A and B are shown apart, each in its own frame.
Chain A
Amino acid sequence: DQQVKQNSPSLSVQEGRISILNCDYTNSMFDYFLWYKKYPAEGPTFLISISSIKDKNEDGRFTVFLNKSAKHLSLHIVPSQPGDSAVYFCAASAWDNYGQNFVFGPGTRLSVLP
C-alpha cells in the first residue's frame, strides 16, 4: 500500500521547456513534502520542500505546488536544462511520537533532451 505515488516512471522534455513531475499521497497526516533529485551512483539530494500550510513554494527554476484537497503535489522546472536529467523522488513526512519520518515515492526519471 503505497502512501506516496509517482505514477509516471519516466518523462522526456525538450531543453528550455517546462518539466512537470507529479506526486500523489494518501495519508492526510503528512504535513511536509519534499522533492529530491538523484543522479546515478549518488545519494539523493534535497531540492525543494513545502509545508502543508502553503500551496506554493518557489526556488529559482523550481516551483512546488501543493493541492491538499486533492492530496497532490507537483514540481515544475522552468526552463528545463540537460543537467536536470535525473531521477526525482517525492517524499512526505509526518510527525509521530518519535519524531519525523519520511516516506518516499518510487521516483520519476526525467530526461531533458538538448
Chain B
Amino acid sequence: NAGVTQTPKFRILKIGQSMTLQCTQDMNHNYMYWYRQDPGMGLKLIYYSVGAGITDKGEVPNGYNVSRSTTEDFPLRLELAAPSQTSVYFCASSYKGRGTEAFFGQGTRLTVV
C-alpha cells in the first residue's frame, strides 16, 4: 500500500516554463488536495477535489490548474512558472466524510529561476 505518491521529488524550472506535478493515491479516497508550503508558513490550499470530475479553488489558486479524471490521480499544472511559485508542494487525500484525517505525499520541492 503506497499511500500518496508524488513525482518528481525535486525540480528546477526557468521562468516561463510549464510543468505538471503528479499525484496518485491507492487508498480509494474521494477527496484530494494540493497544498504549498513556503518557509515559515503553514500549508496553503491551492486546489482540491471531492471526486472524479469535480475540482475547486482553494486559497491560492492563481497560476495553477488541476484536473481529476480518475479517483486515483490529481495532477497540478503550472503554466508560465514564476519565482513566486518556488515552494514545496504537497498532495494529500482523505476519505469522504466528516472528521477524517488527510494523508500526505512526500512533497515536491520546486525552484523557479
Which of the residues B33, B96, B97, B105 comes within 8 Å of A102, measured between beta carbons? Answer: B33
How many residues from A make CB contacts under 8 Å with B?
Answer: 29
For B96, list chain A residues within 8 Å (CB): 99
Closest to B35 in A: A104
Cross-chain contact A46 with B42 (CB below 8 angstroms): no
Bound-complex Cα distance A49 to B101 (A) = 8
**Would you call the interface of chain B mostly helix, strand, loop, or mixed?**
strand
* A12-20, A37-45, A59-67, A74-82 - the one binding chain B: A37-45
Tally A-B pairs: CB < 8 A: 68
**Within the assembled complex, what's the spacing in Å between the Cα atoms of A95 and B98?**
7
CB pair A43–B107 under 8 Å, yes or no, is yes
Contacting pair A44 B100 (CB below 8 A)? no
Would B42 and A4 count as touching, CB distance under 8 A?
yes
Interface residues of A (CB under 8 A from B): 2, 4, 6, 9, 31-32, 34, 36, 41-46, 49, 51, 89, 93, 95, 98-107
Interface residues of B (CB under 8 A from A): 4, 6, 30-31, 33, 35, 40-45, 48, 50, 54, 56, 58, 90, 92, 94, 96-107
A41-B106, A49-B101 given; name 16 further pairs at CB < 8 Å: A4-B42, A9-B40, A31-B98, A32-B98, A34-B101, A36-B104, A42-B106, A43-B105, A43-B107, A45-B104, A89-B43, A95-B98, A98-B56, A99-B96, A100-B97, A102-B102
